[in-house]
Amino acid sequence: MPTTETISTALVEGPEELTLNTTAMRAVQRERRRARRSTPTSNSVGGLILKWTILCLVAVVMLTPLYILVISAFKPQADIIENPLGFSPGSFTFDYLWASITSEKFNVIQAYGITLLFVLLVNVFSIGLAAPAAYVIARGQSKWHLALLLVFVSGLFIPGQVTLIPVVFVLRMLGLIGTIPGFVLFETAGTLPVTIFLFVAYLRTVPRDIDEAAALDGAGKIRAFWLCIFPIMKPAVATVIVLHSIGVWNDFVNPQVILGPSSGIYTVTTGVYAAIGQFSTDYTTVFPTLLLTIAPAIIFFLVMQRYIIGGLAAGATKG
């Protein structure tokens, strides 16, 4: 029976390695592919036409907003309103996109930099804190280790917005409200449950022989972990990086509340909110700004698609 666990264990090893670890399994997989290709839905012509009609209709619904966004970023306001779906070469212009890039209201280049910095810091801290802790938890056998795991995992069920208000109180007491360290600390803490959960699950599949081999080398436990165990955790680390990068890049509420407009530190999302919230009917500002903010996410998605989809599926089915 495929349980959630078996699926996700397979998924952690990468989307392409689903259940095909040995040659025998690979043969089964090939057989399975052949079997699926010959299911009745796909071998009757009528079924094929119906299937692709449905898929194309849904694809149109999915892509129309994106298409309008892209063409409208290069058109003047009158053209956007009078001819929303069409595109005339005569009115094509880079002016509005350039105006958005150089806008004084929203410095998009700086926002990219700041958001990337946050993505990097949260990933480094989250993995740096979680990996050794997860290792101790995964290898430990006392009730304390189990209790520690339960405490961390309980965080999976607590919505971030619920802790946000009290966190403002805590950060105010620590003097970290409106600062980058304060934001990164909170954001990192929010990622720890998922990270530790996925790392512990992964480390339990890593044989203990490796620990012993590392110990024989005479390396201390901490050194042995970083030098011998951590490199093995690559697939789990990749999953976690995918999850956190998307999460931090897209996060709006946490930077908005913790950094606040008064700090002058804008991420991509809080910057867009500040820039567009005020004049949302001036589409020559709205569309180029949105294009600039969506473009990095779309490019990242196109390049990393396989890892993103695999990572998200793994993260979700594990949790």
Partner 1 sequence: MADTSRTMIVWKRRLPGLIMTMPAVIVFTAMFLVPTVLGFVLSLTNWNGFSLNLTFIGFENYLRAFENPRSVDAAIFTTVFAVVTTVVCNLVGLALAVLIAGPGRANTVVRAVFFYPYIISALIIGFLWSAMLAPQGVFNSILANLGLPSIPFLTDPAFAQTSVIVTGIWAHYGFSMILYIAGLKSIPAEYYEAATVDGAGPWARFKNITVPLLAPIVTVNIVLGLVTALRVYDVVLALTAGGPAGSTETVVFQILKNSFDNGKLGYGAAQGVILLIVTAVLGIGVTLARRNAEKKVAD
Site for partner 1 in 151-190 (CB under 8 A): 151-152, 155, 157-170, 172-173, 185-186, 188-190
**Number of residues assigned to the chain:** 319
317 closest CA partner among 20, 12, 15: 12
Q: How many residues bind partner 1 (CB under 8 A)?
A: 113
Q: Which stretch binds partner 1 (CB under 8 A): 87-95, 104-112, 207-215, 311-319?
A: 311-319
Contacts of 145 (CB under 8 A, 6+ apart): 136, 137
The minimum distance between CB 183 and partner 1, in angstroms, equals: 11
Contacts of 235 (CB under 8 A, 6+ apart): 12, 13, 14, 202
Q: Residues 312, 243: contact at Cβ < 8 Å?
A: yes
Q: Residues 145, 137: contact at Cβ < 8 Å?
A: yes
DSSP character at residue 208: T
Give the integer Cα–Cα distance in Å for 285 and 282: 6
133 closest CA partner among 144, 121, 120, 119: 144
The minimum distance between CB 201 and partner 1, in angstroms, equals: 15
Exactly one of 100, 249, 266, 284 binds partner 1 (CB under 8 A); that residue is 249
297 closest CA partner among 272, 318, 263, 316: 272
Does 21 bind partner 1 (CB under 8 A)? Our answer is: no
- Side chain identity at residue 223, one-letter code: R
The minimum distance between CB 89 and partner 1, in angstroms, equals: 20
- What string marks each residue from 211 to 240 as x (binds partner 1 by CB under 8 A) or -? ---------xxx--x---------------
Exactly one of 14, 17, 93, 132 binds partner 1 (CB under 8 A); that residue is 132
Q: Which stretch binds partner 1 (CB under 8 A): 3-11, 91-99, 103-111, 207-215?
A: 3-11
The minimum distance between CB 161 and partner 1, in angstroms, equals: 5
- What string marks each residue from 85 to 124 as x (binds partner 1 by CB under 8 A) or -? x---------------------------------------
Report the site for partner 1 in 192-211 (rule: CB under 8 A).
192, 196
The minimum distance between CB 284 and partner 1, in angstroms, equals: 11
Does 254 bind partner 1 (CB under 8 A)? Our answer is: no
Exactly one of 70, 228, 232, 309 binds partner 1 (CB under 8 A); that residue is 309
Residue 310 host element (H or E): helix 283-318
Report the site for partner 1 in 28-67 (rule: CB under 8 A).
28, 31-33, 35-37, 39-42, 51, 54-55, 58-59, 61-63, 65-66
Give the integer Cα–Cα distance in Å for 137 and 131: 10
Give the integer Cα–Cα distance in Å for 214 and 209: 9
The minimum distance between CB 80 and partner 1, in angstroms, equals: 8
